Each structure stands twice: as C-alpha cells, then as structure tokens.
Amino acid sequence: MSLLSLHHPLSAPGEQLRVLQNGHKPFASALAESGLFPLTATGIGVLQINVGKLCNQTCKHCHVDAGPDRREIMSRETAELCIAALRQTSIPVVDITGGAPELNPHFRWLVEQARALGRHVMDRCNLSVLLLPSQADLAEFLAEHRVEVVASLPYYLEQQTDAQRGNGVFAKSLEALRRLNALGYGRPDSGLPLTLVANPVGAFLPPPEHALEADFRREMERRYGVVFNSLHTITNMPISRFLEFLLRTGNYDRYMQKLIQSYNPAAARGVMCRYTLSVGWDGSLYDCDFNQMLDLPVGQAAPGHIRDFDPEQLGQRRIVIGQHCYGCTAGAGSSCGGATVKQG
Amino acid sequence: MSEREKCLIALAVAHAVQCPYCIDAYTQACLEKGSNPEQMTEAVHVAAAIRGGASLVHGLQMRNAAAKVSM
C-alpha cells in the first residue's frame, strides 16, 4: 500500500521537506561553492509528462508513492494542453512517466499525438504492466509508434529485484522483456530502443554506469537470452517511500552524508532540471519529477500551469532546489537519462 | 581487473585480516560497484579457504617438530 493509504506522516510533502531540512549542509551552499548558484534552466529539451500515480506495482523505493490505490490521473483536457504546448515549440523529446503511465486511458492518444508531431517519445515502463490482460496489445502499440521503452530493472537477479519491486515482479519483467525483444526492441538497428534503468536495492550509490551495463549485458544474455540497447543508473532519491525506508532502518543520516560527501560539481552542471520541464497530472509545472512529488512548483517568475505555457520564460527559469537535490549530484550524477557524468 | 573485482578482493582480504572497519567499508564499496551478497559471500569463502588451507599446511611444521623429538 502507498504511504498515503497508510496515513503515514511522510505521505505529506511538507513532512518530507521538514525531515530533509534538518542539519545537513544546505544544497544551495554546495552549488554556490561550485559557482552554480542560482541554478538556471538552459532551455527545454525534454517535456516530461507525469500522467498519474496509478500503478500496478508498489515498489519500496518509489518517489511517487504510486500504487493500485492511487487515483490521481491526468485528464484528456490536460493531455491536450500538453500537446498544444508541444505544438508551439520544437522540444524534441517527450518523456511519459507515472505511476504506470500506460494505465492512463489517454496514454495512447498522447503517444500518437506526440509522434504525429515528430517528437521522440519515451515510455517509462515498469515491464509487468505489459502482462496485464487490459494491456495485451501494448507492446505492439509501442513498437508500431516507435516509442523508446525505458524499463525499470534494478538488478539482473530475482532476489534483489523482487526485494525492491515485489514478489514475482522479476519473472514478469523477464517475460515482458522477451516479448519486447521478439518485436525487435533491444536489437541493434531495429529502431526500437530498449533502455534499462537500474537503481540500487538499498542505501548505497549506484555502480559506475558503464561497468554495470557491461555486467547486465553479459548476465541478461547468458542467463535469460534477453538483449537491450543501453542501461541507465539512477540514485535513489531520499524522498517518499525511500525516505521512509531510510528513517525506519536507521540509514538516513549515513545516506545523506554519503550523498553530500559525494557532491560532484560536474554532475551538478548537468542536472536534468536544467533542460527538462515536468508536467504534473493536473497540469502544474515543476523543474523535475522529484520536485513534483515534493509539491515544489516552478518559481513564481515562470508560468505555473501548462495552460499558460511560455517556452521562453520557462526555458530560462530559476530552478527550485532543496536538500533532496544532493541525490542528483552525488558521484557520477543521476537523472532520468542515467549518470550525468558519463565515463568511457 | 574491473573495479568491482578489485573490491571483492579487498573484501576477502578484509575478512582474512579480520578488520571490522575494512569489512564495513568494502561491503558498502562492493554493493556500490554492482556486486550482490552472494558474490560477496563467495569472496569471503575464498578468504576462509586460504586461511584454512594455510592453517592445515602448518600442520606439517607440527608433524616435523613432533617427529624430531619422537622415537
């Protein structure tokens, strides 16, 4: 169940922010020391649309607190506003996320419209959704529209994956990956990119992206005959369910210290909020999906809703920051596109 | 060798020299390089086998010393 359904205090963004503001070096100071304060956007290269919090899984680290019990979902009217905003600009990438975005009844319409505008569309897919009876033709739909599938898989073994994402999820994920592979996803030159996203199964930083990609490539093919194009690593953000895990297990202070000690100015320069605009299920605008879940909208100088979309103002807005931002600047950095400091 | 493999060696050595700080540090480091607890346990087994093997072969010293003073 979600923290919200459990009436957990940490389901409130204000309580999460209160915990995060306790005692550690302010993120603004770290940015200032590396000459990056105030952090500003460098344009809008990605429109990330969060179409709702409904999900068929309840992962232990989920920063959205998504689950089958969540009902917040983007309406057709708001989805139309997103397409209208895209039509005004040449934003090249549309990144659709959730929850399980495919469970939004307007997901396929959104994909079709964005593709008709010639934009690259990414579906942040939990894989198991492909096996739901209501989604039996989803894989074919994604392939037909040349949608990049960005699939969550924390580890190449069942024990670790199920520990984070729920019992039976690894087996379902494998079946979904095989289905995608059969359609051409993950195969070189098919034009159907399959990207895996791995995040640590615990209170530690992710491995170097290139090394983990090599491990995954070898093990996924050898053990299961599954192929993919690339792998992204993402650091677990100390908010929502992962924050609850950190506090419950006594790992919070150590994890925050680790993030702060690992602050990397090069990673800070490349954070995704500088080139991403995040749209919430109700059309509100945010600098990133994490700020969205913490109820931290874009600064007041920029329009706050997709109906008032203004690419010029939003493309040079000042980014709203907080202590959770250390999650994106630790080590090789972290973003929806994986590490922000890529290594050979 | 990869960083992950070097970390596994460090973890095994940490157990061989029984350094509690090193064990904590390299447990975390191994996880952060992508190893899983089964691989880390395997590394500890290697350390244990080497330590156990070394103890066993020192038995020869005992046998030789005993033989020297025995009829």
**What pLDDT sits at residue A344?**
53
Residue B11 clears pLDDT 90, i.e. is over it: yes
- ipTM here: 0.80
Range of the domain at A45: 9-329
Give yes or no for a contact between A266 and A36, defined as CB atoms under 8 angstroms apart.
no
Residue A295 domain flag: yes
Let me know if residue A159 belongs to a domain. Answer: yes
B4 touches chain A (CB under 8 A): yes
CA–CA distances in Å: residue B5 to residues A208, A330, B36, B44: 13, 23, 12, 13
| Nearest CB to B36 within list A155, A204, A206 | A155
pLDDT in tens, B26-70: 999 999 999 999 999 999 999 999 999 999 999 999 999 999 988
**pLDDT at B71 (0 to 100):** 87
- The number of distinct structural domains making up chain A is 1
Classify residue A65: in a domain, yes or no: yes
In a domain, A339, yes or no: no
Question: Is it the case that residue A129 has pLDDT exceeding 80?
Answer: yes
Between A338 and A30, the higher pLDDT residue: A30
In a domain, A341, yes or no: no
First to last CA, chain A: 41
Kindly list the structural domains of chain B, giving each domain's residue range(s) and its CATH number in brackets, ordered by start.
3-69 (1.20.1290.10)
Q: Would an 8 Å CB–CB cutoff place A166 in contact with chain B?
A: no
User: pLDDT grade, residue A76 (50/70/90)?
Assistant: very high
Tell me the DSSP string of B44-63: HHHHHHHHHHHHHHTHHHHH
Residue A121 has pLDDT above 90, yes or no: yes
**Which pair of structure tokens corresponds to residue A23?**
């005692």
The Cα–Cα gap between A304 and A322 comes to 19
Tens-digit pLDDT profile for residues A186-243: 999 999 999 999 999 999 999 999 999 999 999 999 999 999 999 999 999 999 999 9
What is the distance between the alpha carbons of residues A6 and A2, in angstroms, rounded to a whole number? 6
Minimum distance, in Å, between the CA of residue A327 and any CA atom of chain B:
15
pLDDT for A262? 96
Which token pair is A160?
Answer: 């670790």
Q: In the prediction, which pLDDT does A44 show? A: 98
The average pLDDT across A179-185 equals 98
Question: Has residue A337 been placed in a domain?
Answer: no
Which residues share a beta bridge with A276? A46
Note the pLDDT tens digit of each residue in A150-159. 999 999 999 9
Residue A316 predicted with pLDDT over 70: yes
Domain annotation covers residue A344: no
Q: What is the pLDDT of residue A23?
A: 82
Cβ contacts of B36 on chain A, cutoff 8 Å: 155, 157, 159-160
Cβ-based contacts of B4 with chain A (< 8 Å): 207, 211, 215
Q: Does residue A276 fall inside a structural domain?
A: yes
**CATH code assigned at A22:** 3.20.20.70
